[in-house]
Amino acid sequence: MKVLVPIKRVIDANIKVRVKADNSGVETQNVKMAMNPFCEIAVEAAVRMKEAGTADEVVVVSVGPSNSQETLRTGLAMGADRAILVETDDPLEPLSVAKVLKAVVEKESPGLVIMGKQAIDGDNNQTGQMLAALLGWSQGTFVSKIEGSGDTINVTREVDAGLATVAIKTPAVLTVDLRLNEPRYASLPNIMKAKKKPLDTMTAADLGCDMTPRVKVVKVTEPPARDAGVKVASVAELVDKLRNEAKVIS
Amino acid sequence: MSTLILAEHDNNEIAAATYSVVAAAGHLSGDIDVLVAGSGCGAAAEAAAKIPGVAKVLVADSAEYAHDIAENVAPLIVKLASGYSHVLAAASTYGKNVMPRAAALLDVQQVSDITEIESDDTFVRPIYAGNAMATVQSTDAIKLVTVRTTAFEPVAAEGGSAATETVEGTGDAGLATFVSQEVSKSERPELTTAKVVISGGRGMKAGENFAMLEKVADKLGAAVGASRAAVDAGYVTNDFQVGQTGKVVAPDLYIAVGISGAIQHLAGMKDSKVIACINNDEEAPIFQVADYGLVADLFDAVPELDKELG
Ligand SMILES: Cc1cc2nc3c(=O)[nH]c(=O)nc-3n(C[C@H](O)[C@H](O)[C@H](O)COP(=O)(O)OP(=O)(O)OC[C@H]3O[C@@H](n4cnc5c(N)ncnc54)[C@H](O)[C@@H]3O)c2cc1C
Ligand SMILES: Nc1ncnc2c1ncn2[C@@H]1O[C@H](COP(=O)(O)O)[C@@H](O)[C@H]1O
């Protein structure tokens, strides 16, 4: 079975983003970029399937500008076999990305697509569900456990009330949550080897996909700031302040 | 112009989140209808009909809607959506699972997790873990939107008398079946609607130490939450996680205990009215957002807090 893993290049999770002075977006110039953390978990899951013998090929794919190649190389260094870059400089919306990914799925015929539950830039949490819909496939979202292989697999999902396990037909789209695994760091020899692995490039237009955005960004602004408060010297003072100043406890 | 709301329920009661979604829909033009899809969901439909401001309740009572299977619920939304300008749901794990699937089938770019409605097509939503707020305008004919429920005061549960209409089911898509669930049971208030939340982080050092927080929580009528690190370490289960990729809370009082205050955690609690923290590292970033910060060892301070509260 082939596993396709869509991955996105985003601002590193440890960076505090800054809003641009002209309110057109956030500052991305000279900012450290990295693979979206949920996508790392997805790559790790796919590579472990290959190591366990349930998958025979892992293909990473990214939709975005040409420098997304770096992110794809990271995926290859983690153990993916091959990479596909679908190049576009257009704004990336989940629906248009899902349409591109559908075209890639139709070319590649994977048995599973494993992706992140959320990209930490737009915080949309949509692309996997949309891809599953466009393909008419089942979806296992927010997955913290994958069991079995073959025509039906069991996935455990992290939901607001706790955990829910569903049996889903394959081929399927899975979106992974934090607790599925701990992604490995690529070793130096694997980073060197990754440079020689195949990376195909095509454009969204080659795949017949229209990337025209449906949602217009009117402006991007700073969130309301919170002022730092005071330090209290003791538990008694804390309780007194909460009770008599903030009046939030009785 | 009219809005369809996908209700969240357990067949008997309408979830608190849905009352906030109705409040959000009140900022849009036109009537508000509520869709209750479930199996044996008559009581929930009756509860929905009592929500003030709701014009009509659509009830799809059919076996395929028993377990919130997105593959079955999305086609129902698609079938009904053409009659509406907006379809809304809570940005809960239920809404997040179902709505994008329906949106793609309708060829609509969903707008996720809105915190403000500026007009019928323009919404405000947090991006980058709430470090920026985007004002976005949808050009799609039907707008599919998920709502951050903490941003909208819930409407009352009683006072309305909406008409009820039965809707045919769309059948089982045959793609997914429910196996089991593990629901955390608690007598305490629900995390996302509690007036007071006390959360523990990696500083708690072990799951059993959360008992200290529970004692305080019970005195304050509070819910207990946690950081990702505490969940990852297995101190508590995933449904406790507050943050960018967990639950968003905005109580009157949030008490962070042994939590450093990473961006991703702040994303889930920085809209709380009052924030207090207990941390033994005075440099921890949580102090930059806390109204009241106590530099102390939590293993001394929490039992003392418990005593102080009497
Ligand atoms: C993609 C992604 C998504 C994420 N999503 C979330 C999310 O939704 N929610 C979330 O919370 N995090 C999330 N994180 C993780 C986040 O970045 C932090 O790692 C996490 O919040 C840290 O948890 P913590 O504060 O409990 O642990 P730490 O950062 O280790 O902090 C522990 C704190 O406890 C204090 N402490 C230790 N011992 C004591 C003591 N005896 N008394 C008093 N204080 C003590 C320490 O001084 C320290 O400040 C996410 C990260 C990524 C990359
Ligand atoms: N431009 C992209 N290229 C490849 N995969 C993507 C892209 N955007 C989103 N994804 C995938 O979809 C997941 C969810 O993203 P989102 O719906 O934007 O929150 C990510 O974790 C990726 O796996």
Any idea what DSSP says for residue A245?
A: I
Q: Which of A10, A127, A176, A211 to mutate to test the pocket of ligand 2 (most atoms within 8 A of CB)?
A: A127
Any idea what DSSP says for residue A36?
A: -
What ligand is nearest to the CA atom of residue A85?
A: 2
Residue B247, chain A, CB below 8 Å: the answer is yes
Q: Does residue A229 sit in helix, strand or coil?
A: coil
Contact yes or no for B109 and A137 at CB 8 A? no
pLDDT tens across B1-57, in order? 999 999 999 999 999 999 999 999 999 999 999 999 999 999 999 999 999 999 999
How many angstroms separate the CA atoms of A75 and A61, rounded? Answer: 9
Residue A143, chain B, CB below 8 Å: the answer is no
Indicate the length of chain B as a whole number. Answer: 310
Q: Any long-range contacts for B189-193 (C-beta under 8 Å, 24+ apart)? A: B189/B221, B189/B222, B189/B223, B190/B16, B190/B223, B191/B223, B191/B224, B191/B225, B191/B239, B191/B240, B191/B242, B191/B247, B191/B249, B192/A160, B192/B16, B192/B17, B192/B149, B192/B150, B192/B247, B192/B248, B192/B249, B193/B16, B193/B154
Using CB atoms, which residue from B94, B288, B292 is nearest to A238?
Answer: B292
**Using a 6 Å CB cutoff, which residues line ligand 2?**
A 6-8, 36, 38-39, 42, 62-64, 92, 94, 97, 115-116, 118-119, 122, 124-128
Radius of gyration of chain B (CA): 21
Tokens describing residue A145 = 């456990």
| Closest chain A C-alpha to B146 CA, distance in angstroms | 10
Angle, vertex CA A94, rays to CA A104 and CA A26, nearest 5: 125
Least Cα distance to A137 among B74, B263, B9 occurs for B74
Taking CB atoms and an 8 Å cutoff, what residues of chain A touch B96? 125, 129, 141-142
Q: What is the dihedral of CA A93, A98, A100, A102, to 10 degrees?
A: -170
Any idea what DSSP says for residue A242?
A: I
Task: Show the 3-state SS of B46-104.
Answer: HHHHCCCCCCEEEEEECHHHCCCCHHHHHHHHHHHHCCCCEEEEECCHHHHHHHHHHHH
Burial of A149 (0-12, 13-18, 19+ CB in 10 A): middle
What ligand is nearest to the CA atom of residue A101?
A: 2
**Average of per-residue pLDDT across B202-212:** 98
Residue B66, chain A, CB below 8 Å: the answer is no
- Reported as a pLDDT band with limits 50, 70 and 90, residue B99 is very high
How many angstroms separate the CA atoms of B43 and B54, rounded? Answer: 16
Using CB atoms, which residue from A38, A123, A164 is nearest to B112?
Answer: A123
pLDDT tens across B208-238, in order? 999 999 999 999 999 999 999 999 999 999 9
Tell me the ipTM for this assembly: 0.97
CA atoms within 13 A on the CB side of A107: 15
Residue A40, chain B, CB below 8 Å: the answer is no
- Reported as a pLDDT band with limits 50, 70 and 90, residue B185 is confident
What pTM was computed for the model? 0.97
Q: Residue B310's pLDDT is what?
A: 87
B 180-219: CB under 8 A from A = 180-184, 192, 196
Q: Residue A20's pLDDT is what?
A: 97
Residue B265 near ligand 1, beta carbon < 6 Å: yes
Phi, psi of B34 (to 5 degrees): -120, 130
Q: What is the mean pLDDT of chain B?
A: 97
pLDDT tens, residue order, chain A (250 aa): 999 999 999 999 999 999 999 999 999 999 999 999 999 999 999 999 999 999 999 999 999 999 999 999 999 999 999 999 999 999 999 999 999 999 999 999 999 999 999 999 999 999 999 999 999 999 999 999 999 988 999 999 999 999 999 999 999 999 999 999 999 999 999 999 999 999 999 999 999 999 999 999 999 999 998 887 999 999 999 999 999 999 999 8
Phi, psi of A194 (to 5 degrees): -60, -30
Of ligand 2's listed atoms, the one at least distance from the Cα of A123 is 19
Do residues A220 and B127 touch, judged by C-beta distance below 8 A?
A: yes
Residue B184 predicted with pLDDT over 90: no
Contact yes or no for B101 and A239 at CB 8 A? no
How many angstroms separate the CA atoms of B143 and A20, rounded? Answer: 28
Taking CB atoms and an 8 Å cutoff, what residues of chain B touch A228? 287-290
What ligand is nearest to the CA atom of residue A115?
A: 2
Q: Residue A219's pLDDT is what?
A: 98
Contact yes or no for A219 and B237 at CB 8 A? no
Amino acid at A114: I
Residue A131, chain B, CB below 8 Å: the answer is yes
Of ligand 1's listed atoms, the one at least distance from the Cα of B242 is 9
Chains A and B: how many Cβ contacts under 8 Å? Answer: 259
How many angstroms separate the CA atoms of B180 and A123, rounded? Answer: 29
Q: Residue B186's pLDDT is what?
A: 86
The proportion of chain B whose per-residue pLDDT surpasses 70, expressed as a percent, equals 100
Residue nearest to atom 4 of ligand 1 (CA): B264
CA distances from B95 to A52, A76, A141, A148, B147 (A): 34, 34, 12, 27, 9
Residue nearest to atom 38 of ligand 1 (CA): B203
Residue A87, chain B, CB below 8 Å: the answer is no
Residue B88 predicted with pLDDT over 90: yes
